[in-house]
Structure 1
Amino acid sequence: MPQRRIIGFVTLTAALGLGVFLLPAAAGMLWGTIGAASVTAVAYGIHQHRPARRAPWLLLGSGLAVLAAGDVAYAIAATSSGQVHSLLADVLYVSLFPLLTAALVQLTRSSAIIRDRSGLTDLLAVVLAVGLVGWTQLVAPALPGTGLSRVEQCVLVSHVLGGLLVLVVMVRLAVAAPRNVAVLLLAVGAAGLLASDTAYAVAELGSGWRPGGPAELGWLVHYLAWGAAALHPSMTRLTARVDVPPDETAATRVGLVALASLTAVVVLFAEAVAGAVLDGVVIAVVAGLSTVLVVTRVVDARNKHRHAVRRERHLRETSTSLVGATGSAQVGEALRVMVAQMLPAGTPHRLVFALYRPPGRRTDDLDFVWSPRVDLDQPLPTNNTPRRSLLVETRLLPAVLVEPLGGLPATIVASLTPGAESVAGRGGAALLVAADRDTLVASRDVIEVAAGQATLALQRLAVTGAAHRRDRDRYLDLVAGNTNDGVLIVGDDDRVNYANPAFWRILGIESQAFATWRDIIHPDDHEQVDRALRAVRAEDESSGMDVQWTLRRSDRSRVLVEVNCRPLLAEPGPPGVSITLRDVTDERRREWDLLRRRLETTAPGLNRRSLRRRFR
């Protein structure tokens, strides 16, 4: 469908251009129609493709509109009064280049085509300096014999110099992205504009410009190429934001730019010493453009410095919070605060913590007390990059994450576990931040560094927790390791945090690391255990409760245990339930055997059968 629109636009523009040469009397109306078609193509391309930044394309469309209006004014003046020059047309033609300058400033911001425009501004400064020297030394000495006024001379130099600058920028873009169709079309259009403007200037220096000649093909190519560039889908890459690399400008390049900026001053001084300033307007224009380039360079440097200072401050605050974190909840809060501070105020975004644990395998020794948290049953996507984060489209993530992320277009997936591949294969935790793509690109480095620091904090907490549990287990082994009563500590997540050797002997199984009580107790006995744990956890007091359980051993035999359950609400460490089990199977069997023997030795005359039935 986009190709059909481009073919239709090219066909219409070519037909109108053919009419310009075949019907000179209607040239003004035809040029206006061609300009209107190009402006319409730009507007439709903006609406259809929705680029990340619309400003440069709107400015390019405005430039096409101004150029078309100048062509119409020029044609009207030529046909009505017979004048070759029109003041209105000259004003419109000259006003084209400020619009194109503003468009190029917007277009060369960090994007998928040019990540840093500092090199481009340096190149333009040198081109301006060379153009000024060439004009004053080669072209200006030949102008007095042409009969052109100062205003007409300024219009000529603005046409040539402005077209040259536009072509340089477009060629630089084309070199940076040789496979981008929109960039190539913009470069072709800029070349056509410069070619026709140069032909116009040469004709004016000679016998004068005559409309309808082949030199006007350049302007037709300019209209056609720029309109087609806006219609092509690749136009969105011109403003798609990417990471901005650090500015490592060499000292020699800075010196070259400084010399180029001083060229206008040197030329002005040389002409003043010679006796008269003949090219004051041209020198002023070049000096103004050089000032714009220098200001652009300074503004870019200031923005980079401001961003770096802001990023360093937020990372320092986040690092301080992570160093003092005593639990995973504080780590999550530090990350939430950092993301809220880094993103521009009012930016719609969502933050989600994702946790993937492969079935039957525990991947950490830390309880992730996070909110909002999503437990995954499948790994997150990965592209095996060396970075610790991925920037992906939200729709490509598991469906369970789409709703918590608010349906925002792009998401950063930053790993919170050691190893860049941990979230994808071995399981682990990840920080997900969803927002628009431009915002995430600008904040990706900071989020990635903060995620790395949070990973270290989580590792520290895991190692500290493991050390505390090891010391606790050693203490409990000293206290309860030699007793015949089983001691079991169950966390709120049903995980067995401690079990002494007597507990495993009672059940007749071997120790199982990182197991839950459901993995140890036979499924037929889950109901009675679950009922007791719910009752204990619902109590606010620590007095506990006493019950009896009948548990099935691994050999399918039954064991009767007396159980005391007590909540560990006020104890140091994570909350849970302390369970003490005493095997009373043999004791109950001896009691029943003693009772049975008593019944067997009951005095004659009593109904022994009824007594047995009563105590059965």
Structure 2
Amino acid sequence: MSSRLTAGYTALMALLGASVFAAPGLGALSWAAIGLCSAAAVVVGVRRFAPSRPLPWWVLAAAILAMGAGDTIYGAEAAGWLHAPALADICYLAMFPLMTTGLIQMARSSAVLVDWSRMLDLLTFTCAAALLSWMWLVTPGLGADNLGHAAKSVTAAYALGDLLILVTTVGLAVAAGRNASMTLLALGAIALLAADVWYALATLGGGWHPGGPAESPYLLLYYCWGAAALRPSMVRLTQPVPARSPQLPIRSAALLGLSLSTPPAVLLVEASAGQVRDGVIIGAAWMLMSALVITRLAMALSRHRQTVDRQQQLRRGCGTLVAASDIAKVDDALRAAVGDLMPAGLAHTVLLAVQDPRSPGDPDPIAKLIKRYPLPHADQGRTRLVNTRMLHPELGDRLDWHPATLVCRLAVDHRDQDDPELGALLVAGDGVALAAIQDAVEVLAAQASLALERIALTDAINRRSNEEYLRAATRNSIDAVIIVDGDRCVRYTSPALADIIGSDVPILTALRDIVHPDDHEQIERTLRAAHRTPQPDGARAWWHLPRPNGGVMTVEVSCRDLRHDRRVRGYVITMRDLAEQEAMQRESIRRALSALPAAQNRERSHRRFG
């Protein structure tokens, strides 16, 4: 659908662009249609893709409309329909602050504004570019004899406005990385600068002629800014991005050095020419750039201190996770560590969704919800910063509907397992703050995964040891002992069970398979009763077990719910054969009667006279 929209938009803009060259006299109508079509493309893109912060795109649409209005008025003036040059300049000049505001709003969540050192680098480069623009574009226009004072001021404002849009767009493009929408916006900004330079040179020369080749950059500008909103990648331009490394990249260092060397180079060029005409401008630019560089160094030192503090907080959190002995302590450690990493006083919510192995039959509601509605994980890595509205409404309620949520997978890499997922860690709060601590939270999630795996393995080892002890203790017992997990599967059986039912019971056999079908509902009633009954007593019932020869035997059952006991983690069911119990009772009665004096006298008389 997006491709069809872009194709239709391209065909329509090509048709309108052709009308600009084919009918210069109707340029006012053509430019009005082009501006409306480009702004409508932005509106359609916002409605279709629903970015998390649509305001920057609405401001971009307003900037396109302002420029379209200026081109319409200029075309009407060129055709002789209207004479209002000041009104066209007002529309053009209104476009620059609108466009700059929209781009800055897009960059508000990007690393350019999250990391102010990058913004200072960008401002330093802007000062250098502004100095060059002033020397080579504005100064020749100010010295032209065929322009009045108002025209010279407007020309200078156009040059500075184009430079501001270009620098802001380049900064956003660096932060956004590979993004089709951002590429189109940057291409449109370059086209705007090229078109205005072409227009300035034409004005200083023989004049501007509507319908000429110089109209092409303006057409490219309208097309690119409208097409940028029709790409699905436009959503990512308003989403927070992770903060990058505080180290100064080689390219940024080279760009910063080039910017600092620009004022001395310009001064050297003018001095070599024999006259320094712009010494005040060069000195002011040098002072401003020096102040920006000094500020950047101070902020670098502050960032270094913050990084050291964050590493200490992360080290403390990882140490607490290493010492955690159960899931509750892992949860507490994660909440404390995330609270230390988040800025003081900033509201946030931490949610650990992990199935507790102590109650496998009673699944955690959050873990069950996540299993039913999978979370949006990143294609690579374990974390992803998403809009909270993308999650299930119940999860949104538990996360207090904070603007953004950091989704962290809890997993351990097992080559022999197909599903290493342990759960998920959700941290909701301000998107910019979460982007700044995303790497640290990912480390905490990895440590939590190891802690959970260690707890699970420890519990498994303890259960195995307890089962071996129980098997040795019940080897000669006439009562059969069964341990059933929450899924109603047999995890342990004592040797007496095979003697009772006449066959061995494999591990992980369903409890329903060894009980008569008529008692399947009785099984659930007994387990529910065991959950409500105190552990020392347990729930008692009578079940019927089928024999291999087709017969049925009745057993007395005692069931205790020990799922929360780390040594057991399941239901303990004790079975006693009633027939065997009756035989033992008869034998006990016979022995008791034989011990009476009368019985002993009869026995002696029988041996003497019998």
Is residue 343–residue 439 contact of structure 1 (8 Å, CA) maintained in 2?
no
2:57 matches 1:57: yes
Q: What is the match of residue 598 of structure 2? A: none
Query: Following the alignment from structure 2 to structure 1, what is the Cα–Cα distance between the partners of residues 408 and 449?
Result: 10
SS in 2 for 1:51: coil
Query: Following the alignment from structure 1 to structure 2, what is the Cα–Cα distance between the partners of residues 251 and 411?
Result: 33
Is residue 188–residue 225 contact of structure 2 (8 Å, CA) maintained in 1?
no
1:450-486 residue CA offsets vs partner (Å, 9 max, x unmatched): 4432322222222222333244334434543333333
**TM-score for the superposition, normalised by structure 1:** 0.66
Summarize the alignment of residues 164-175 of structure 1 with structure 2, pairs less than 5 Å apart. Answer: 166=165
In structure 2, relative to structure 1, the CA distance for the partners of 1:9 and 1:333 (3 Å cut) is farther
Query: Following the alignment from structure 2 to structure 1, what is the Cα–Cα distance between the partners of residues 471 and 292?
Result: 75
State which of 387, 406, 419 in structure 1 corresponds to 2:413: 419
State which of 497, 500, 518 in structure 1 corresponds to 2:494: 500
Q: What is the match of residue 424 of structure 2? A: 431
What amino acid sits opposite 2:381 in the alignment?
Answer: R
Q: What is the match of residue 199 of structure 2? A: 200
2:232 matches 1:229: no
What amino acid sits opposite 2:8 in the alignment?
Answer: R
Q: What is the match of residue 131 of structure 2? A: 132
Query: Following the alignment from structure 2 to structure 1, what is the Cα–Cα distance between the partners of residues 302 and 513?
Result: 58
1:348-397 residue CA offsets vs partner (Å, 9 max, x unmatched): 999684779xxxxxxx898486343318999979999663467899999x
Is residue 183–residue 229 contact of structure 1 (8 Å, CA) maintained in 2?
no
2:25 matches 1:22: yes
2:504 matches 1:486: no
Query: Following the alignment from structure 2 to structure 1, what is the Cα–Cα distance between the partners of residues 195 and 540?
Result: 99
Query: Following the alignment from structure 2 to structure 1, what is the Cα–Cα distance between the partners of residues 274 and 281?
Result: 17
In structure 2, relative to structure 1, the CA distance for the partners of 1:550 and 1:205 (3 Å cut) is closer
2:456 matches 1:462: yes
Q: CA deviation at 1:217?
A: 1.1
Query: Following the alignment from structure 1 to structure 2, what is the Cα–Cα distance between the partners of residues 113 and 8?
Result: 35
**TM-score for the superposition, normalised by structure 2:** 0.67
Query: Following the alignment from structure 2 to structure 1, what is the Cα–Cα distance between the partners of residues 542 and 41?
Result: 83
Query: Following the alignment from structure 1 to structure 2, what is the Cα–Cα distance between the partners of residues 255 and 273?
Result: 26
Is residue 78–residue 210 contact of structure 2 (8 Å, CA) maintained in 1?
no
Identical positions, percent: 33
In structure 2, relative to structure 1, the CA distance for the partners of 1:470 and 1:355 (3 Å cut) is closer
SS in 2 for 1:431: strand
What amino acid sits opposite 2:196 in the alignment?
Answer: D
What amino acid sits opposite 1:7 in the alignment?
Answer: A
Q: What is the match of residue 11 of structure 1? A: 15
SS in 1 for 2:424: strand
Query: Following the alignment from structure 1 to structure 2, what is the Cα–Cα distance between the partners of residues 544 and 513?
Result: 24
Query: Following the alignment from structure 2 to structure 1, what is the Cα–Cα distance between the partners of residues 167 and 152?
Result: 23
1:99-146 residue CA offsets vs partner (Å, 9 max, x unmatched): 444444445567799999988985885575366357548985896574
Is residue 413–residue 433 contact of structure 1 (8 Å, CA) maintained in 2?
yes
Is residue 5–residue 231 contact of structure 1 (8 Å, CA) maintained in 2?
no
Q: CA deviation at 1:198?
A: 2.0
Query: Following the alignment from structure 2 to structure 1, what is the Cα–Cα distance between the partners of residues 106 and 291?
Result: 15
Query: Following the alignment from structure 2 to structure 1, what is the Cα–Cα distance between the partners of residues 545 and 502?
Result: 11
> Structure 2: 5+ residue runs without aligned partners?
590-610
In structure 2, relative to structure 1, the CA distance for the partners of 1:269 and 1:90 (3 Å cut) is farther
Superposed CA RMSD in Å reads 6.2
Q: CA deviation at 1:221?
A: 1.4
1:329-362 residue CA offsets vs partner (Å, 9 max, x unmatched): 5545666788899999999999684779xxxxxx
Q: CA deviation at 1:257?
A: 0.9
Q: What is the match of residue 510 of structure 1? A: 504
Q: What is the match of residue 237 of structure 2? A: 239
Structure 1 window deviating more from structure 2 (503-512 vs 427-436): it is 427-436
What amino acid sits opposite 1:503 in the alignment?
Answer: L
Is residue 388–residue 396 contact of structure 2 (8 Å, CA) maintained in 1?
no
What amino acid sits opposite 2:46 in the alignment?
Answer: I
Query: Following the alignment from structure 2 to structure 1, what is the Cα–Cα distance between the partners of residues 298 and 60?
Result: 22
Summarize the alignment of residues 526-545 of structure 1 with structure 2, pairs less than 5 Å apart. Answer: 526=520, 530-540=524-534, 542-543=536-537
In structure 2, relative to structure 1, the CA distance for the partners of 1:92 and 1:300 (3 Å cut) is farther
Is residue 328–residue 370 contact of structure 1 (8 Å, CA) maintained in 2?
no
Query: Following the alignment from structure 1 to structure 2, what is the Cα–Cα distance between the partners of residues 341 and 391?
Result: 19
Structure 1 window deviating more from structure 2 (284-293 vs 130-139): it is 284-293
Is residue 10–residue 228 contact of structure 1 (8 Å, CA) maintained in 2?
no
Query: Following the alignment from structure 2 to structure 1, what is the Cα–Cα distance between the partners of residues 313 and 365?
Result: 22
Is residue 159–residue 196 contact of structure 2 (8 Å, CA) maintained in 1?
yes
In structure 2, relative to structure 1, the CA distance for the partners of 1:131 and 1:581 (3 Å cut) is closer
1:485-541 residue CA offsets vs partner (Å, 9 max, x unmatched): 333455666455654322333333335335554354444554555555554544347
What amino acid sits opposite 1:481 in the alignment?
Answer: R
What amino acid sits opposite 2:219 in the alignment?
Answer: V
Is residue 39–residue 61 contact of structure 1 (8 Å, CA) maintained in 2?
yes
Summarize the alignment of residues 255-294 of structure 1 with structure 2, pairs less than 5 Å apart. Answer: 256-258=255-257, 260-261=259-260, 263-264=262-263, 278-279=277-278
Is residue 315–residue 446 contact of structure 1 (8 Å, CA) maintained in 2?
yes
Summarize the alignment of residues 333-482 of structure 1 with structure 2, pairs less than 5 Å apart. Answer: 353=353, 367=360, 370-374=364-368, 387-388=381-382, 404-405=394-395, 415-419=409-413, 425-426=418-419, 429-431=422-424, 442=435, 445=439, 448-482=442-476
SS in 1 for 2:477: coil
2:327 matches 1:328: yes
Is residue 483–residue 493 contact of structure 2 (8 Å, CA) maintained in 1?
yes
Query: Following the alignment from structure 2 to structure 1, what is the Cα–Cα distance between the partners of residues 223 and 292?
Result: 27
Q: CA deviation at 1:284?
A: 8.9
SS in 2 for 1:468: helix
Is residue 355–residue 363 contact of structure 2 (8 Å, CA) maintained in 1?
no
1:262-310 residue CA offsets vs partner (Å, 9 max, x unmatched): 6448868998999997447865996799699979989998999899789
SS in 2 for 1:551: strand
Query: Following the alignment from structure 1 to structure 2, what is the Cα–Cα distance between the partners of residues 576 and 235?
Result: 50
What amino acid sits opposite 1:257 in the alignment?
Answer: L
Query: Following the alignment from structure 1 to structure 2, what is the Cα–Cα distance between the partners of residues 67 and 12?
Result: 16
Query: Following the alignment from structure 1 to structure 2, what is the Cα–Cα distance between the partners of residues 62 and 410?
Result: 27
Query: Following the alignment from structure 1 to structure 2, what is the Cα–Cα distance between the partners of residues 381 and 256?
Result: 41
Is residue 107–residue 238 contact of structure 1 (8 Å, CA) maintained in 2?
no
In structure 2, relative to structure 1, the CA distance for the partners of 1:161 and 1:412 (3 Å cut) is closer
What amino acid sits opposite 1:46 in the alignment?
Answer: V
Q: CA deviation at 1:591?
A: 8.9
Q: CA deviation at 1:236?
A: 1.7
What amino acid sits opposite 1:221 in the alignment?
Answer: L
What amino acid sits opposite 1:224 in the alignment?
Answer: Y
1:30-67 residue CA offsets vs partner (Å, 9 max, x unmatched): 75665455445444543444334434434433443444
Is residue 39–residue 65 contact of structure 1 (8 Å, CA) maintained in 2?
yes
In structure 2, relative to structure 1, the CA distance for the partners of 1:283 and 1:11 (3 Å cut) is farther
In structure 2, relative to structure 1, the CA distance for the partners of 1:592 and 1:37 (3 Å cut) is closer
Summarize the alignment of residues 110-125 of structure 1 with structure 2, pairs less than 5 Å apart. Answer: 125=124
In structure 2, relative to structure 1, the CA distance for the partners of 1:189 and 1:298 (3 Å cut) is farther
Is residue 562–residue 581 contact of structure 1 (8 Å, CA) maintained in 2?
yes
In structure 2, relative to structure 1, the CA distance for the partners of 1:503 and 1:390 (3 Å cut) is farther
Aligned positions, number? 577
Query: Following the alignment from structure 1 to structure 2, what is the Cα–Cα distance between the partners of residues 570 and 13?
Result: 74
1:149-182 residue CA offsets vs partner (Å, 9 max, x unmatched): 6775554455346546655776898999999765
SS in 2 for 1:510: coil
1:313-337 residue CA offsets vs partner (Å, 9 max, x unmatched): 8866764664454433554566678
